[in-house]
Amino acid sequence: MPRVFIPPQLRDLTGGNAELEIDGGSVREVVAALDSRYAGIAGRLCQRGELSPALQVSIDGTLSRRGLDAKVAAGSEVHFLPVFGGG
């Protein structure tokens, strides 16, 4: 199962858990599985059926531009990261 790292601002929904093993073959499936276990987390990770524009997802150390459609392997590490702006 993929290992999912929960950002500090969402840990109130996971009982303080910083990392979890969650089943899923894509980021979308991982988010759905997270939401079934921790109701409301999908609403904080997503907007209008897509990954929130305030977040990026990193899979095995690589930022993905595919958002919720990104593939996740059984041993992957998935991080939800805040987007940093500026210039």
Flag whether pLDDT at 72 surpasses 80: yes
pLDDT-based confidence at 87, cuts 50/70/90?
A: low
Q: Would 87 be classed as within a structural domain?
A: no
**What values do phi and psi take at 29, rounded to 5?**
-65, -35
Task: Express each pLDDT in 11-64 by its tens digit.
Answer: 999 999 999 999 999 999 999 999 999 999 999 999 999 999 999 999 999 999
**CATH code for the domain in which residue 31 is found:** 3.10.20.30
Q: Could you list the residue range(s) of the whole structural domain that residue 26 is in? A: 3-82
Query: Which residue from 9, 10, 60 is spatially nearest to 31, judged by alpha carbons?
Result: 10
Total number of domains in the chain: 1
